[in-house]
Amino acid sequence: MVASALRRGAHAYVYLVSKASHISRGHQHQAWGSRPAAAEYAAQRAAGSVVELLGTSYPQDDYSNLTRKVLTRVGRNLHNQQHHPLWLIKERVKEHFYKQYVGRFGTPLFSVYDSLSPVVTTWQNFDSLLIPADHPSRKKGDNYYLNRTHMLRAHTSAHQWDLLHAGLDAFLVVGDVYRRDQIDSQHYPIFHQLEAVRLFSKHELFAGIKDGENLQLFEQSSRSAHKQETHTMEAVKFVEFDLKQTLTRLVAHLFGDGLEIRWVDCYFPFTHPSFEMEINFHGEWLEVLGCGVMEQQLVNSAGGQDRIGWAFGLGLERLAMILYNIPDIRLFWSEDERFLKQFRVSNMNQKVKFQPLSKYPPMINDISFWLPSENYAENDFYDLVRTIGGDLVEKVDLIDKFEHPKTHKTSHCYRITYRHMERTLSQREVRHIHQALQEAVVQRLGVEGRF
């Protein structure tokens, strides 16, 4: 559950069947861009084609838009690779919850699920979370669909309803999530989230409160900025207090005591009231997570009619980049020992400050084209750049828009920064990649090149 999750053709495609669960390490390394060419596309739909993913075959249709680049990442599970920086963050959060929140029999109150399949139904990803059918977060341009009914999860919240329906009332979910997005040092089509949910019965919420037996969880009233129509104000305030106290303790565990925190009101379809937590880190206010009181309609539909609860979600990459001073999100996929060895620590809570690798020189090329009259989506272009250039592409900036005064056609000019994380690129390599991109953008997106 992350805020950014909710703010935001005409050509026949050939779909290559890819077994992403059985990628060899050598093939994974090619994602750095050592073999960029149009043939490396993950093919999109062709009549009767399927994509095979994690041992299951999925028929393709007009919604299928997975790229080979993304398919090669499915199953890597960086958050479960020991001593990876994302693993360190996950384990530190787990350790904190295991120690701080203990059940009646001395066992951890929160159960942890960090190996759930990233393939979910569109119902799990959207409908179960009360996301309206016309909500922009469902757009094909923002998500990776296997077909109209199955997709790669856009958030770990996709598992909320199932776990609640199974009778769980306190759990953490950790996993890789997938979104089509811009290209820069902070964005990558695959990243990792950690989600937490806790439900309370009337007795649990009001235990130890004077006259708590006279307080109620539910009432029928009107919805306001501060509460849902089915919740009493007392119940909401106690849940909100517990949520904020839980998160304040968590960030103190991760960042140290004395951290300045502020709460910003926001909107999610599956919580109300909802908040973003910001921390003042080294003099800069940074948003680190989203949270809120769970929508009672969601809780009720999963079988928790007598309970009220909270949920929060955070991005592991974002926390790791802040905590360890990692400057580029692509580094999390690096197999460079100079990067990985810095996180092989004997104590997961010891401080680690990333020592930058030598920064190799960038190579910058521009690409300009006239847009087609319809069906152009910027995320399609970014996906194409990632497919052709892989992780050699550091960032892409739209530097110029121009509308022809007579034809009213629109031209875009993008500046592409190429930089290898582990060596210096040659002009020949970049020229080969850029020419392949120029060819592909015409063939795949129907633009008119201005090369």
Would you kindly state where each structural domain of the chain is located, as residue ranges?
A: 52-333, 358-449
| CA gap 181, 183 in Å, rounded | 7
Rg (CA), the chain: 23
Beta strands at 170-178 and 284-294: parallel, antiparallel or unpaired:
unpaired
Of the options 3.40.50.970, 3.40.50.2300, 3.30.70.380, 3.30.300.30, the CATH number for the domain spanning 358-449: 3.30.70.380
When pLDDT is cut at 50, 70 and 90, the band that residue 358 belongs to is: confident
Average pLDDT of the chain to the nearest whole number:
89
Q: By three-state DSSP, how is residue 294 classified?
A: strand
Average pLDDT rounded to a whole number, residues 135-157: 96
Residues 169-216 pLDDT 10s: 999 999 999 999 999 999 999 999 999 999 999 999 999 888 888 999
Question: What pLDDT, on a 0 to 100 scale, did the predictor assign at position 326?
Answer: 95
pLDDT band at 8 (very low <50, low <70, confident <90, very high): very low
Q: By mean pLDDT, which of 35-44, 265-274, 379-388, 415-424 is the weakest?
A: 35-44
Q: For 52-333, which CATH superfamily applies?
A: Bira Bifunctional Protein; Domain 2 (3.30.930.10)
Average pLDDT over residues 7-15: 29
Give the residue from 255, 301, 300, 308 showing the smallest Cα distance to 277. 255
Tens digit of pLDDT for each residue in 210-248?
888 899 999 999 999 999 999 999 999 999 999 999 999
Average pLDDT over residues 437-444: 96
Predicted confidence (pLDDT) at residue 15 exceeds the cutoff of 50: no
Q: Above pLDDT 70, what percent of the chain?
A: 89
- Which runs of consecutive H residues, i.e. helices, occur in 49-121? 68-71, 85-100
Q: What Cα–Cα distance (Å) separates residue 150 from each residue in 146, 164, 312, 380? A: 5, 21, 24, 19
Separation of alpha carbons 210 and 314, rounded Å: 34
Taking phi first (over 0 means left), then psi (-120 to 50 degrees means alpha), and beta for anything else, what does residue 167 get?
A: left
* Confidence check: pLDDT of 405 > 60: yes
Beta-ladder partners of 262: 278
